[in-house]
Amino acid sequence: MTRHFLRDDDISPEEQSEILALAAEMKADRFSRRPLEGPQTVAVIFDKSSTRTRVSFAVGIADLGGQPLIISTANSQLGGKETPSDTARVLERMVAAIVWRTYGQAGLEEMAKNTTVPVINSLSDDFHPCQLLADLLTIQEHKGDLAGLTVTFVGDGGSNMGHSYALACTTAGMHVRIACPPSFSPQPSVVGDARAIAEQSGGSITVLHSLDEAVEGSDVVVTDTWVSMGKEAEKAERVATFGSFQVGAEAMGKARGDAIFLHCLPADRGFEVTPEVIDGPQSVIWDESENRLHAQKALMVWLLEHA
Ligand code: CP
Ligand code: NVA
């Protein structure tokens, strides 16, 4: 049966380790795997803006011997004119996989249900699982074994990044802390899913509303924009609410001395993070951004092998 990657918990802990190991292997030998030789085409669809995702998928698909077909929803029949299921049926006759950055998770699910080729979520309102594969690869490179590490995600706990941190890091056996204002907590169903995963993996999930408490002794501190794509109209209200959740030197000083800092980017310096932290010695954001390429290539190889 075709496997899809719509949320971080679509893969088991063993499968996640397998994909991360493959990513490390392929990073060391960039052109070693060519499953898309032909070239076969992968459709990469964008309903929202992107720099890293667009470039890393386009380059990664080419590295695998294939060719990317970048589709902007504004110039396609998706986005109200044609259903995801009809689009899926058309695309599967021509492409090897579908990568889609969109708003609602339901569209991705409909796409996946109606196609025989793998569908990859390259960011929705609810999850950003490709980013998490890159982040886990980065954490592994800097800290070694993931299981047992403490990671604190600071910011909008109900955002795609907050949710993906909850699911992907508990899958990896990590202790996850989400630090957020109460009104921006993760969806209870996602916390419940993360808790069930953590019970099996030996990790844990805690939602906290105090930044100081949440970063205390952490191995990894992560933040993201306070204003995700689609939430621009709420900017003033969000900036006012998130003010006490800025990651600055003081917060990093409460984490472990050897803690690393991650941010999926794009960043708003002076809002969710100070320049001295994001551009400082503990920041690994450029490795993290490069790892989008390696992690997604491994994911595509793995999904094509399991199709
Ligand atoms: N981190 C990330 O997904 O960046 P883009 O929006 O530039 O793709
Ligand atoms: N949470 C951010 C991530 C951007 C890559 C957003 O959805 O805009």
pLDDT tens per residue, range 24-55: 999 999 999 999 999 999 999 999 999 999 99
Q: Which whole number is the average pLDDT over 265-293?
A: 98
- pLDDT of residue 79 exceeding 90: no
> Which pTM value belongs to this model?
0.98
Q: What percent of the chain has pLDDT over 90?
A: 98
Q: Which of 126, 224, 246, 294 is catalytic?
A: 224
Ligand 2 centroid to residue 37 C-alpha, Å: 32
Atom of ligand 2 nearest to the CA of 264: 5
Q: Which residues contact 133 (CB under 8 A, 6 or more apart)?
A: 16, 19, 20, 23, 168, 295, 296, 298, 299
Say whether 67 is catalytic. Answer: no
| Top mutation candidate among 138, 224, 264, 278 for ligand 1, by most atoms within 8 Å of CB | 264
Atom of ligand 1 nearest to the CA of 130: 3
Determine the pLDDT at residue 80: 85
Beta bridge mates, 40: none
Q: Which residues contact 87 (CB under 8 A, 6 or more apart)?
A: 77, 78, 111
Compute the mean pLDDT over every residue in the chain, rounded to the nearest whole number.
98
Determine the pLDDT at residue 248: 98
φ/ψ of 197, rounded to 5, equals -65, -45
Q: Which whole number is the average pLDDT over 203-209?
A: 98
Q: Which residues contact 21 (CB under 8 A, 6 or more apart)?
A: none
Determine the pLDDT at residue 124: 98
